[in-house]
Amino acid sequence: MAAATTSSDSCCTRCLSFLITIGLTALFLWLSLRVDEPRLYLDYIYVPSLNKTLNPNPNPQTHTNNTIFFTVKLANNNKDKGIQYDNVSLSFSHFTSLNATRALGNATVKSFYQGHQKNAFKKGYLNATGNLTTPVNGRVFYRVDFTTAVKYKILFWYTKRHRLWGGANVEIEASLGTKVNRKGIRLGGNSLAVIESGAPLIRRGYPALPCVAVFLILYAF
């Protein structure tokens, strides 16, 4: 009887050890494969045609410099995963009214690799088309959007490509040509376009679905 009990205990111990090992392995794999999307910011923008200190003529319609200079910041917050970016396509538009924009032009940040927990600052410019200075209710707003795709490097291999996109509204100093908000402006990850000056970003709902599912399961029990 005692031998049977010992054998049963030994079997239970082995099963428990096996389950713990499987659980820890699954947790390790999940942590290894889990990635944080890179964050893109408009770190700097300068519109010379809005800088009244460069041109004493108060009539913005006579400004002929249609160049827009910018710097985007790309932040990789992953502790142990690098990121390979495809070309980052940026589009700029100008609010002509509270609910309408006009395209100014596009720019491209060339593909590159970014190490883990690194920040990259990429400068660029574009020669915009049309008028860049028309205010709306006395304020100048631009819209900046991006699209790209990334692969994450985990140890010695890469994941499949993941598409990223987003954008933000940017208020520009009407007399200086730089953005009003001195901090970097997040080009919200996977956000839908917003066509209203100063409106909050609209985010996709799918990241919250796992949390909702867990809540419903716990509630059911």
Tokens of 195: 């066509």
Rounded Cα gap, residues 124 and 91, in angstroms? 12
**SS3 (DSSP) at 94:** strand
Query: Cβ contacts of residue 115 below 8 Å, gap of 6+?
Result: 76, 82
| Contact yes or no for 60/51 (Cβ under 8 A) | no
For tokens 């985010």, the residue is: 203
pLDDT at 67 over 60: yes
Burial class (CB in 10 A: 0-12, 13-18, 19+), 188: buried
Backbone angles phi, psi at 70, to 5 degrees: -150, 160
Q: What's the mean pLDDT when you consider all of the chain? A: 78
- List, for residues 123-151, the tens digit of each pLDDT value: 999 999 988 998 998 899 999 999 999 99
For the full predicted model, state whether its pTM sits above 0.75: no
- List, for residues 99-122, the tens digit of each pLDDT value: 889 999 999 999 999 999 999 999
pLDDT band at 169 (very low <50, low <70, confident <90, very high): very high
The DSSP symbol for 184 reads P
**SS3 (DSSP) at 8:** helix
Rounded Cα gap, residues 98 and 89, in angstroms? 25
- List, for residues 26-54, the tens digit of each pLDDT value: 545 445 556 889 999 999 999 999 998 87
